Amino acid sequence: MTPEQYKKVKDVFLVACDKPMEQQAAFVVEVCDGDAAVQQEVETLLAEHNQGAKIIPQNPLSPMSKLLSQAGVEGPGDYDVDLDLGRSGISSRILADSDSGSGTGSSHDFVDPGRFTAGTVVAGRYRIIELLGRGGMGEVYRADDIKLGQTVALKFLPRLFSQDTKWMERFHNEVRIARQVSHPNVCRVFDIGEVDGEQFISMEYIDGENLASLLRRIGRIPQDKALQIARQLCAGLSAAHDKGVLHRDLKPANVMIDGRGQVRITDFGLAAPIDQIKAQQLRAGTPAYMSPEQLAGKNVTIRSDVYSLGLVLYEMFTGKPAFKADSLREYIRLHTEENPDPPSQVVFDLHPDVERVVLRCLEKDPRNRPSSVFAVAAALGGGNMLKEILASGDTPSPEAVAAAGEEVTGARPALALGLLAFALVTLIIVVLLSPRAFLMQLAVKDAQSNPSVLSVRARDTLRNLGYSQKMRDGDSGFGLNAQFYSWVQSRQFGPERWTLLTRPRAGLVYFWYRESPDLMVASRSSAFGEEYDPPLMRPGMTSVRLDPRGVLQRLHVVPDRVIGANADVQPAGESSATAATQSALEKVPVDWLPLLKAAEIDLTRFHPVPPGRFPPIYADTLAAWEGVFPEAPNELIRIEAAALQGKPVYFNILGAWKDMETSGQQAAIQSLGRTNLIVQTLVIIALLVAGSFLAWRNYQTGRGDRSGATRMAIAFFVFGFATWLFRAHHVPDLLMEFILFSGAMGDILFPVALIWIFYLALEPYVRRAWPETIISWSRLLSGKWTDSLVGRDTLIGATVGIASMIITQLEHLAPRWLNMSAPLPSYASAFTSLQSASNFSTLFAAGLSALYLGLILLLFLIIVRIVSRRKWVAGVAFILVFIAATARWTPDAYFSWAAQILIGSLFLFLVIRHGLVAIIACILCRMILWDFPITPDFNVWYANASIIAIASVLTLLGCSFYTSLGGKPLFSFRDLETR
């Protein structure tokens, strides 16, 4: 038979394969036109081709559905059949198995020059050298790129299919998909060209042979070499998955191995983006290497490619295919119902880890297979895939990072037990020192009543002053006197400054209670309930301040009747002028004694003075007294009072701090230090600008982990919403509550958007520059809450967080123990701790802050690392900025500087050594123990808040300890026996 006749055999055969079986014989007779040799050869091929059919979905109206029905395919979907010559056993009749793309230099029984003879110049650029192979998807030639001086492979579609739009679309799809995947273990596709109406693909020429040919030639591959090939195969397939592409036709014939042992994955003709695979395309693939869900026409996922990978690995390690059948129906039965023989029964020296991972890949249920091919590589062992990816110049995917180090099964039992014991001991120390170290516990140590009892006392005070009407709404809470704090901070006292802040009478801490005849809808809907939010403007509103012992400090009442031009509420039937005249004429004497008695004012120590201040509301009678309290004989106290028609409407106790024009926000700035806040603000602004640019670029290039960023944003929203839900003052009115909720959304969604930007900007660069820091984090985001590595890093972070609290406590205690001037505690933290005494929302706020601060710290470290290209430079910058943002900038801040250097070093160690999960757990424990009032005395009124905080930390420790063991027993009796 001449070469021309062989070429005609191929063309006629391929077209006949696309026709219904009952029409094939007539078609062959008609096309062969009396050429008996060609007709006989085609009929022989048609009788054999079903043994290795490759299923490719086509138009639902294709008559091929009848053929597949006869072959035993059931269920929806229709198919084309594309011959895989290598698997059908007819390569000796035409050419070598070659539908993978770039062929080998194998010899053949005869020389078939193909459609192009050697020396032919194609498209004015490529000089044909030889025909490498021919398969159902085309012919592949070796050629020289005259323009670039390189050897390439050219793949041509079968001539009869050149005008078929369906086949042309598949041809173009192979180029589109393959060009998306750039990796050393993926055959590179350069371009698509055309010559004489026939289109071709130019691709990388691989001087080697495919895995199918190699396995037929030598049998199974030695285990060490097979492991090397397997890891490269996983890396290339992972690169496709990173782009959201499923190969769907992974098999030995599509794996090329060059002369250096380098692996290339070829033939992306059936590949498709995961989210673009249509229902009629679900069964694409080669039956011998298709997953059960592919054969059943169900949704295909990455785990479908993992199944095919498992089949390739099985054949590579054992030298035999996992399943062997003579028909499509039999392949479907084997893949869906039968399990292959364990590889160890075929090869006796196979490593147990290899057998375990191969059998996991071949699980019938996709959920039981490894979640990624990277996880397969990690489970195979024998190399660090993460380092290999980085060495290749690529950025590992989130899945690759999550799978990295899967050989690490968490902490050793002895280490986990030691960490837990150390954490419990340090937690006990923190609990014992907290009442002496922190402002809130010291300030309310004399309070004998809880907030509910103080609220009752406030209502009794109002009734005793003549305000007994029933109100519709009310609220209460603890507050800090910002003016008093600023005054104490401005004084150059020594250790006695803490004593001033913690005194109960005319001191820093007070309890406020307010009522309103109408619903109170706060303007700052995400904040704690506040004394003056909403403002005291509605007639009938009342506000009372008590010191921690329940003694009156301040009274503010908006009268029901406002006198003069500002009158808003008047008795029915009266004009403003009449009401003003009557009020002026009917001025009622005021009895100030009940008011002074409620404030426990000793009139023997106070004397009347002329009023010196106008009250914030209208009043017709003013009064003032000056004197001293017995506990502070050198401090002049002034009392201002006002009344309207004989009823007190205003009362306030003022000291030397009365002229300090300071708000709560200003006091918080002063307490943190203006330099600290400037550094923090500049860092945040710089990170926001840089992060926004990086996020935009990562989003455009597709490098950003959008899924992870979205999960983070959802977590922030949940924490923020829960914080608002427990913190806000809710009202029993649907419309008002919706207004409250709408206002809260701004405060909630801003950090959500911010964290989405930061994460999208940060995460790809972390994966590229420092992927070790987010291995456990990537597993956590992927849903592996009980992963042992996550548990280990959480346990370490929580332990360091608790230990760092001892450093913070000593920062406050050591100067006072040494009778030195101690820096004042933060106004903001003291305020939060007061509110946390009776508010559960702080727990969620701590989680929110831990996530945010952990990401900010890591983002800063990564940016400095990228800019400086030195780890040590990033570490030094981290410590310096941490100190500048947190340490006190006052002459008495020696202990503060030392404490922040230690804490910053611990944070840096956690980030570098154990990553994001550890630093978040550390910050979370710190914030819980910092923001909640901790005490060992469970009889105090804020004991419940202390129990919530301690129980939360213990729960975190217990869960992380159990998870870190990874199922390993604490004590091994076998170890005891060996000893």
Helices and strands in the chain, H and E counts: 35, 21
Residue 925 has pLDDT above 70, yes or no: yes
pLDDT tens digit string along 15-27?
Answer: 777 676 777 888 8
pLDDT of residue 674: 55
Contact present, 615 and 651 (Cβ < 8 Å): no
Q: How many angstroms separate the Cα of 716 from the Cα of each of 201, 728, 850, 922?
A: 48, 18, 11, 18
Q: Using CA atoms, how far apart are residues 688 and 695, in angstroms rounded to an integer?
A: 10
Chain mean position to CA 974 = 41
CA distance 663 to 963: 47
- pLDDT on residue 711: 86
Dist. CA 936–CA 557, nearest whole Å: 40
Residue showing tokens 């919706």: 738
CA 474 to centroid of chain Cα atoms: 40
DSSP symbols for 832-854: HHHHHTT-THHHHHHHHHHHHHH
- The pLDDT tens digits for 756-807 are 887 887 788 788 777 878 888 888 887 888 888 899 999 999 999 999 999 9
CA distances from 170 to 162, 177, 236, 299 (A): 11, 10, 22, 20
Confidence bin at 311 (pLDDT 50/70/90):
very high
> How far is Cα 500 from Cα 439, in angstroms, rounded to an integer?
11
Q: Is the pLDDT reported for residue 216 higher than 70?
A: yes
Print the SS3 string covering 290-306: CCHHHHCCCCCCHHHHH
Whole-angstrom distance, CA of residue 381 vs CA of residue 299: 30
β-sheet bridge partners, residue 141: 131, 154
What is the C-alpha end-to-end distance of the chain, expressed in Å? Answer: 79
Contacts of 700 (CB under 8 A, 6+ apart): none
Q: In the 3-class helix/strand/coil scheme, how is 813-835 assigned residue by residue? A: HHHHHCCCCCCCCCHHHHHHHHH
More confident residue, 556 or 691: 556
Choose, from 249, 620, 705, 931, the residue flagged as catalytic. Answer: 249
pLDDT-derived band at 115, boundaries 50, 70, 90: confident
* Res. 492 pLDDT band, cuts 50 70 90: low
CA atoms of 423 and 281, how far apart (whole Å): 55
pLDDT for 281: 56
Half-sphere exposure at residue 662, Cβ-oriented, CA atoms within 13 angstroms: 23
Highest mean pLDDT among 143-157, 417-431, 555-569, 642-656: 417-431
Mean pLDDT of 429-450: 81
pLDDT of residue 515: 92
* Res. 732: pLDDT tops 50: yes
**How far is it, in rounded angstroms, from Cα 275 to Cα 765?**
26
Question: Whole-angstrom Cα distance, residue 552 to residue 596?
Answer: 9
Task: Give residue 108's pLDDT band: very low, low, confident or very high (50, 70, 90).
Answer: very low
Ramachandran angles phi, psi of 639, nearest 5°: -120, 125
More confident residue, 598 or 286: 598
CB 105 within 8 A of CB 207: yes
Strands lying side by side in the sheet with 509-516: 473-480, 509-516, 542-546, 552-557, 647-654, 632-644, 621-629, 606-609
DSSP string, 403-457: HTTTT--S--HHHHHHHHHHHHHHHHHHHHHHHHHSHHHHHTTT--S-HHHHHHH
Which residues fall within 8 angstroms of residue 722, CB to CB, at 6 or more apart?
841, 844
Residues forming beta bridges with residue 927, ordered by sequence position: none
Alpha-carbon gap, residue 324 to 333, rounded angstroms: 11
Tokens 């059998």 correspond to what residue?
Answer: 359
Position 405 scores a pLDDT of 56
pLDDT in tens, 189-212: 888 888 887 888 898 998 888 898
- Reference 502, options 96, 830, 201, 743; nearest CA is 830
CA atoms within 13 A of residue 444's CA, in its CB half-sphere: 30
Q: pLDDT exceeding 70 applies to what percent of the chain? A: 77
DSSP 174: H
Task: Please report where in the chains the tokens 């009043």 appear, as a residue.
Answer: 619
Q: What confidence tens digit (pLDDT) does each residue in 814-865 have?
A: 888 887 766 677 766 777 777 776 667 888 888 888 988 888 888 788 878 8
* Alpha-carbon distance values, 221 to 156, 260, 308 (Å): 32, 15, 18
Q: How confident is the model at residue 149 (pLDDT cuts 50, 70, 90)?
A: confident
| Mean pLDDT along residues 443-467 | 83
3-state secondary structure 734-800: HHHHHHHHHHHHHHHHHHHHHHHHHHHHHHHHHHHHCHHHHHHHHHHHCCCCCCHHHHHHHHHHHHH
Rounded Cα distance between 901 and 882, Å, is 8
At 676-724, the pLDDT tens digits run 567 667 777 776 777 777 778 777 777 778 888 888 889 889 988 888 8
d(CA 852, CA 752): 10
Residue 724 makes CB contacts below 8 A (sequence gap 6+) with: 525, 526, 744, 747, 748, 841
Sequence-separated (6 or more) residues with CB below 8 Å from residue 250: 237, 265, 289, 305, 308, 309, 312
The pTM of this model reads 0.67
d(CA 293, CA 297): 6
Cα–Cα–Cα angle for 530, 533, 536, nearest 5°?
120
- The answer to whether the bond into 398 is cis (omega within 30° of 0) is no
Type of residue numbered 808? T
Give the model's pLDDT for residue 971. Answer: 61
Chain mean pLDDT for the chain = 78
Element (H or E) spanning 41, and its range? helix 36-48
Average pLDDT over residues 553-570: 64
| Helix/strand/coil (H/E/C) assignment for every residue in 796-818 | HHHHHHHHHHHHHHHHHHHHHHC
Distance CA 783, CA 760 (A): 19
Cα dist from 316 to 52, 104, 180, 249, whole Å: 19, 19, 28, 16
Residue 42 Cα distances to 24, 27, 29, 429, angstroms: 10, 11, 10, 87
For residue 155, list its beta bridge partners. Answer: 140, 201
Helices (H), 132-222: 165-180, 211-218
CA distances from 516 to 467, 544, 585, 641, 700 (A): 12, 12, 29, 21, 53
Q: Please name the residue that has the structure tokens 């050429």.
A: 35
Chain position carrying tokens 């499923």 = 246
Catalytic residue status for 249: yes
Burial status of residue 37 (CB atoms within 10 A of its CB: 0-12, 13-18, 19 or more): middle
List, in order, residues 6 or more apart from 931 with CB less than 8 Å away.
829, 832, 833, 836, 842, 845, 846
- Measured in degrees and rounded to the nearest 5, phi and psi for residue 156 equal -110, 140
